[in-house]
Amino acid sequence: MITIRCLVSMLVLATLSACSPSDRLQQVLADGEIAVVSRNSPTTYYLDKEGAAGFEHDLAQLLAEDLGVDLRMQTAYSLDGIFRRLQREEVDLAAAGLSLTDDRSQRFSHSIGYASMIPRVIYRTGNRRPDGLDDLGDLRLVVLAGSSHEQALEVMAEEDWPELRWEVVEGADTMELLELVDNGSAELAVIDSNEFRMQQSLYPMLEVAFDLGPEQEMVWYLPPGPEYRSLQQRVNQFFARLQGDGSLEQLREQHFGHTTVLSRIGSHTFARNIRGKLPAYRELIRQVADEYQLDWHLLAAISYQESHWEPEATSPTGVRGMMMLTNPTAQEMGVEDRLDPVQSLRGGARYFKDMRRRLPRDIYEPDRTWMALAAYNIGLAHLEDARVLTERMGGDPHLWSDVMTHLPLLQKREHYRTTRYGYARGGEAMHFVQNIRHYYSILQWQDMPAIQPERPLHPDDFLPLPLREKRFLAL
């Protein structure tokens, strides 16, 4: 006969079994939280004035929402630190732009690939460009400590290039390597293609010398052990769904779709103007942005696209001032002197907010801002024509990534003759928005160090490198 005490014991055991730590997915669901470690960089995870941001953060947030739990992001300040946390099971996932290697796959579980990258050797234009490893000579080559690039170089040195030499740099952000090459402290650095493409505009003098190896998959890593298999399967299903319905590509476009719009000369000019012109107008732009509840980086990006921060700029068509307002627009916005930078900035800010306010309510951020910028350039009527074309041709008129590909059709007679408002320079509007998005991102990245949390002291930081735990290769 089963006693009350036995029955209670059985119920307790059943409850513990249902939420056993041996099944980490069930534990995550029971706890209502998933812990994810990443690294602090523009391509992965960072803090802006709105809070947590970055491609890997947003992807992890989507997973948390899919699971119905909260996301707890952690920052690792070295690549070794990411994998130490996985080994110690301090986190459930590492989402940090990490490549798939044989060594890592033997140590840790991992997801299916969700992106790809190519390891590339970067140099500064004007210096000697090596064509391959045989051409390095005594050039100083730097890589991140604990990276897959370091591992690849070790294999190459052992097998085919015994004279190959390089230096490792502690940290988790490839911007540190780019800084070294840009300021002449090193001649070469190994960077993954996706990160270099994202950050090249900050370093317009840097270019690709040659590819270090073939294309590699980017994956998320999980701690080792069978208890993580169900979570691994759920992550794989999550990625498969995002790839299948286009959500992954949409998120990638949102974060990186603007990174290839500028030429090297354009990037160099922008970098020079950030140092030379922007300081004289930064506080003024901040003041006006605060008045109109705008991000000052966005207002600065618009004004740079319009005039390169030149208050007396004038075009052949008659638009003038820092925000290049037409006479009718200036009058509508209450601007009496278009060459007065304060009036011009206020007029442009007011006009942009008016465009954003008048868009359909079911267009949400960040697409709402990008479409408002297109309307700022081309007018709401022509933007609506582009949205009609987008829907007519099977796209989503609420997504900037779809609408921007159809804007240039407004210049083709076979398409614009079917629209309500006819011909418009849609290609120009598309480039207008993409340029601003790019400038906006660069200006935000410039401010990143000021708003990131300080690196906490960790016991490992006090140990000499040879005495630290065996590195778990990352990136």
Tens of pLDDT along 87-124? 999 999 999 999 998 889 999 999 999 999 999 999 99
Least confident of 79-83, 230-234, 255-259, 467-471: 467-471
**Largest Cα–Cα distance in the chain?**
98
The pairs formed by 288-297 with CB atoms below 8 angstroms and a separation of 24 or more are 288/342, 288/345, 288/346, 288/349, 289/349, 291/346, 291/349, 292/346, 292/349, 292/350, 292/353, 294/349, 294/352, 294/353, 295/49, 295/440, 297/440, 297/443, 297/444, 297/447
| DSSP3 helix / strand / coil % (the chain, rounded to 5) | 55, 15, 30
473 within 8 A of 106, measured Cβ to Cβ: no
Q: What is the pLDDT of residue 451?
A: 52
- pLDDT above 70 covers a percentage of the chain that reads 85
Task: Give Cα separations from 70 to 55, 58, 63, 82, 236 (angstroms).
Answer: 17, 13, 10, 20, 19
**Would you name the residues annotated as active-site residues?**
306
Whole-number mean pLDDT of the chain?
85
**Contact at 8 Å (CB) between 164 and 136?**
yes
Two tokens, residue 12: 């307790």
Q: Is the dihedral of CA 47, 50, 52, 53 positive or negative?
A: negative
Tally the residues of the chain: 475
- Given a cut of 90, whether residue 275 has pLDDT beyond it is no
Closest CA to 341 of 320, 321, 315: 321
In the block, residue with structure tokens 């097998």: 159
Report whether 72 contacts 36 (CB < 8 A).
Answer: yes
For the CA atoms of the chain, what is the radius of gyration? 26
Whether the per-residue pLDDT at 19 is higher than 50: the answer is no
User: Residue holding tokens 């890589």?
Assistant: 143
Residue 61, Cβ density class (10 Å: 0-12 exposed, 13-18 middle, ≥19 buried): middle
Reply yes or no on whether the pLDDT at 468 is more than 70: no
The burial class, CB within 10 Å (0-12 / 13-18 / 19+), for 340 is middle
Q: Is the pLDDT of residue 452 over 70?
A: no
Residue 460, pLDDT > 50, answer no
Q: Report residue 201 as tokens.
A: 């505009």
Backbone torsion region of residue 448, taken as left when φ is above 0, otherwise alpha when ψ lies between -120 and 50, otherwise beta: alpha
What pLDDT shows up at residue 450?
53
| Stretch 261-277: mean pLDDT | 73
| pLDDT over threshold 70, residue 40 | yes
Q: Summarize pLDDT for 339-363 with one digit per residue, the tens.
A: 999 999 999 999 999 999 999 999 9
Q: Which domains does the chain have, with CATH numbers?
A: 19-116+218-256 (3.40.190.10), 119-213 (3.40.190.10), 264-451 (1.10.530.10)
pTM: 0.61
Residue 295 has a CB neighbour count (10 Å cut-off) of 16
Grade residue 66 by pLDDT with cuts at 50, 70 and 90: very high
